[in-house]
Amino acid sequence: MAETKNEGNGKPVIFSGIQPSGNLTIGNYIGALKNFDQFQNDYECYYCVVDLHSITVRQDAARLRKRTVELTALYMAVGLDPERSTLYVQSHVSAHAELAWILNCYSYMGEMSRMTQFKDKSRKNEENINVGLFTYPVLMAADILLYQTNLVPIGEDQRQHLEICRDIAIRFNNAYSPTFAVPEAYIPKVGARVMSLQEPTSKMSKSDENADNFVAILDPQDVVMRKFKRAVTDSETEVRYDVQAKPGITNLMSIYGAMTGKDMPAIEKEFAGRGYGDFKEAVGVSVAEGLRPVREKYAALVADAPAIEAMLGRCAGRAEQVARKTLTKVQRKVGFLPRPRSM
Ligand code: ATP
Ligand code: LTN
């Protein structure tokens, strides 16, 4: 098993990625981003801006470049420190695409066809169901496996992709010899699936066309308050957790719980007999105030794009070294000649 041990400083490894495909929502924050910074001391952390994934849906080139820098600034605004974590852009490290190709040859049409995200996105982009969208989970597996990752903090919607990643790792390890660490998902107990504010039976998504469906992390206070005020509820008046009967209220309770640390019974008690108006106001305040420091830090960071780009360059070098090591091992096992030394 020695080969699958994490190299470097011996700490276990965290990897996660977010697509620069829109304005990040409080779903992305509560389900993923908010949890990233707690790992920085005890784990070797890699946090990636997955631009290769984002082009599975058409992107405007200039906007994609801008969003890549902005997402990096947001990573830093929530407390990720490039001295302690490797913050980098996926397309800067070509090993991701190279390993993805190899793993494509160890993945099956049947297992990819079952992916819910593929089915959803194909439905939403009928005019562009490209092959990249289909093999998206294989690229995600390559991201994770290149770094001998132990733990992957993600929202509930990515659980299925993580399962496939584990299957691919185990399959490859069994076909050759232990090559990849087999990662576990880290999915938060509250807020792992934040729902749309207008349609609380579907997931809040940053690429949603209707901006009333989501609250962006960077939405100003008045916008946050207005969106929560308009959020769909039900015809009762009682703040009670019930996913089936009260999806709107239940979603708002989860958001409030994630922002304040209060559990569901405590929230029910706090708002007993107070009606939805008061409750929505409190949810809005918890989000707007909770995110104020993030908005402020972000504004300062994003103003200096050259500094962000310089940092990304340094981190890409760090990532490249680790990724190349795993890739070289894989290339040797599948039977490729070593790369010529002159390269
Ligand atoms: P898109 O709408 O462009 O597909 P997205 O909003 O689903 O994007 P991703 O970049 O795919 O965002 O996801 C980044 C992280 O945020 C992932 O870990 C994902 O699980 C998490 N996440 C996304 N949406 C939610 C949500 N509604 N609730 C909780 N976590 C979420
Ligand atoms: N597929 C993920 C983003 C993503 C990711 C990763 C998450 C790409 N590579 C590796 C965790 C680990 C998504 O759509 N949210």
DSSP code for 156: G
CB 182, CB 166: distance < 8 Å: yes
Q: What's the CA-to-centroid distance between 203 and ligand 2, angstroms?
A: 16
Q: Ligand 2: residues within 6 Å at CB?
A: 15-17, 19, 50, 53, 140, 143-144, 152, 154, 158, 161
Q: Which atom from ligand 1 is nearest to the alpha carbon of 158?
A: 20
Question: Which residues touch 272 (CB under 8 Å, ≥6 apart)?
Answer: 239
Nearest listed ligand to the Cα of residue 199:
1
Write the pLDDT tens digit of every residue in 178-208: 999 999 999 999 999 999 999 999 999 988 8
Residue 339 CB burial class (10 angstroms; 0-12, 13-18, ≥19): exposed
First-to-final CA distance of the chain? 31
Is any atom of ligand 1 closer than 6 Å to the C-beta of 104? Answer: no
Cross-strand partners of 14: 45, 151
Q: Tell me how crowded residue 148 is: count the other CB atoms within 10 A of its CB.
A: 24
Cross-strand partners of 18: 49
Catalytic residues: 121, 203, 206
Pull the structure tokens for residue 331: 């290339």
Q: What's the CA-to-centroid distance between 272 and ligand 1, angstroms?
A: 32
Q: What's the CA-to-centroid distance between 27 and ligand 1, angstroms?
A: 6
- Comparing CA positions, the residue from 34, 66, 49 lying closest to residue 291 is 34
Question: Which pTM does this prediction carry?
Answer: 0.95
Measured in whole angstroms, the distance separating CA 158 from the mean position of its chain's CA atoms is 8
Q: What is the pLDDT of residue 341?
A: 83
Nearest listed ligand to the Cα of residue 27:
1
Pull the structure tokens for residue 273: 């007999």
CB 117, CB 95: distance < 8 Å: no
Q: What's the CA-to-centroid distance between 138 and ligand 2, angstroms?
A: 11
Q: What is the pLDDT of residue 77?
A: 98
Residue in the block written with tokens 């194909």:
122
CB 181, CB 148: distance < 8 Å: yes
Protein residue closest via CA to atom 23 of ligand 1: 28
Q: What's the CA-to-centroid distance between 155 and ligand 1, angstroms?
A: 7
Task: Identify the structural domains of the chain with CATH numbers, from first to last.
Answer: 13-186+304-334 (3.40.50.620), 211-299 (1.10.240.10)
- The sign of the CA dihedral 146, 150, 154, 158 is positive
Mean pLDDT per 10-residue section of the chain, whose length is 343 residues: 53 97 95 96 97 96 98 98 97 98 97 93 90 97 98 97 98 98 96 97 91 96 97 96 97 98 97 95 98 97 97 98 98 96 79
Is any atom of ligand 1 closer than 6 Å to the C-beta of 148? Answer: no
Q: What is the pLDDT of residue 6?
A: 53
Protein residue closest via CA to atom 18 of ligand 1: 154
Write the pLDDT tens digit of every residue in 295-315: 999 999 999 999 999 999 999
DSSP code for 277: H
CB 139, CB 96: distance < 8 Å: yes
Nearest listed ligand to the Cα of residue 193:
1
